[in-house]
Structure 1
């Protein structure tokens, strides 16, 4: 029998009715809309709409190497995705604007016995705009069911760096690959149509992620998508020298840019992606990456 597609699997999960919510329960359908615009040579956050559980910090101008860039942190009091959650995030960067969007902490996907949790992210970058979307890792707890869909739309002269790190459990508790299913996909488009699509489907009970040719004896998977005028060789050399992670870079289809992928422990993977971010940033906007402080 053919393996069930991830789309079919999550459609089946969606038919499972949730238990009644507690009185006053909120945050199952969280939404965030953020828009940035170039104003007098600087970037400003011009739209900020958020519903529970999300909150967006005001703009932070702390990047000395790139003073025209605006940084914001997406915050959530729970920092988690629970069964039945449907979260929608939209980030728009206007013409000539530069923005960095990250999260205040890792996103924990809790265990589930019904339905599933889903996060949709829509990123749009106008001509001469630049976006860095670099959230903290997603941690998949035991019995988690998670679907993440990201769409990146870039104008002809736009550029973007988008990152993702997946941690397969609470590793300090020796919990690894005990989630039920995790499917993430990024689709990138320009005005002419689809540039590329990249998907990861992890279903440990059916296909062991630790088998040879997949993740082997590594736990954490990280990916960085560099969309714009970037070459794979410098990025490959940089990440290969940066950490002990097994990492490499490859050119994306349709001359869209470069993808970097890393396997290892959490620190090594984060180090590899940070090195790739720094190298890509120097190429795209002529500035090094700042230290990623959360305090």
Structure 2
């Protein structure tokens, strides 16, 4: 397997040279590091480092939780291009409460060679809580996108991790014209692996609208409510009741090893899926840290 390809499905792409700035050059390898810590004045962002295409302009204090801090990650570029490699690290200290999102959707642009990848590592220390809820990922025609997300939880730590995937610029009639999309999520706790989850879509090889995949729906979203020290069965039942009557087709199920709950939603529009996942996030947050989820405003 090519050294640059972290998954066999992307091995063939990795050998393709990009005609613009090469893989690994400035602006292609984006790095984002965020560290939050609990202080006497609440949670504070104590370390941040960002290279293009990431930009952090500071924190916001409008979270309903009085001790929380919020960062909306910005991008001065037009989206994710072929050959881009992004590394994101978010660390939340003991008893800190943090919310990380993006200011706008992540647009994965059309590609003719190579691929784009994002590697995200989240770490939450004892008693801490992290909400990692970015805006949707939009896969343009011929896009090839690989994203890996790893969550590591200390004892007593909790997290909500969400993702919404839009298979094209729907307003332009672009649906399932991307080439390949692979998203992998892995969570670990003090005793090792809690669960792994993967979504792999290749429209030219396997019809994503087939029964048992997305069916009649277009937009797909998932929220993982990670709370290994809570009653996963009760939380799953509660979240299922919240989302099952919502505007999207949705349900909730307990994750393996008592890790928490997975909520999945299908809809025809990103807003519909986001609304359903937000309802689950809101309920989970009230249960986990006794505060509602933040509103959708990005300022």
Residue number in structure 2 paired with 1:8: 8
User: Deviations for 1:61-81, whole angstroms, at most 9, x for unmatched residues?
Assistant: 112x31100011100012511
1:43–1:97 Cα contact (<8 Å) kept: yes
C-alpha change, 1:225 and 1:130, in structure 2 (3 Å) is same
1:79–1:106 Cα contact (<8 Å) kept: no
1:256-275 equivalences under 5 Å are: 256-265=259-268, 266-275=270-279
1:25-44 equivalences under 5 Å are: 26-40=26-40, 42-44=42-44
Between the aligned partners of 1:79 and 1:239, the Cα distance in structure 2 is 33
CA deviation after TM superposition for structure 1 residue 238, in Å: 0.4
2:93–2:125 Cα contact (<8 Å) kept: yes
Between the aligned partners of 2:124 and 2:90, the Cα distance in structure 1 is 8
1:79–1:105 Cα contact (<8 Å) kept: no
Residue number in structure 2 paired with 1:76: 75
Of residues 241, 249, 264, the one that matches 1:246 is: 249
Secondary structure in 1 matching 2:240: helix
Between the aligned partners of 2:253 and 2:221, the Cα distance in structure 1 is 14
CA deviation after TM superposition for structure 1 residue 17, in Å: 1.2
Residue number in structure 2 paired with 1:192: 191
Of 166-175 and 47-56, deviating more is 47-56
**TM-score (normalizing by structure 2):** 0.93
Residue number in structure 2 paired with 1:53: 53
Between the aligned partners of 1:263 and 1:158, the Cα distance in structure 2 is 29
Residue number in structure 2 paired with 1:225: 224
Residue number in structure 1 paired with 2:160: 161
C-alpha change, 1:20 and 1:167, in structure 2 (3 Å) is closer
Residue number in structure 1 paired with 2:3: none
Secondary structure in 2 matching 1:52: coil
Between the aligned partners of 1:70 and 1:247, the Cα distance in structure 2 is 30
1:133–1:161 Cα contact (<8 Å) kept: yes
Between the aligned partners of 1:186 and 1:241, the Cα distance in structure 2 is 27
User: Deviations for 1:107-158, whole angstroms, at most 9, x for unmatched residues?
Assistant: 0001111100001110000000000000000000000000000000000110
Between the aligned partners of 1:270 and 1:178, the Cα distance in structure 2 is 22
What is the total number of aligned residue pairs between the two structures? 286
Secondary structure in 2 matching 1:177: coil
Residue number in structure 2 paired with 1:66: 65
Residue number in structure 2 paired with 1:293: 297
2:21–2:28 Cα contact (<8 Å) kept: no
Between the aligned partners of 1:134 and 1:86, the Cα distance in structure 2 is 20
Secondary structure in 2 matching 1:204: coil
| Structure 1: gaps spanning 5 or more residues | 1-5
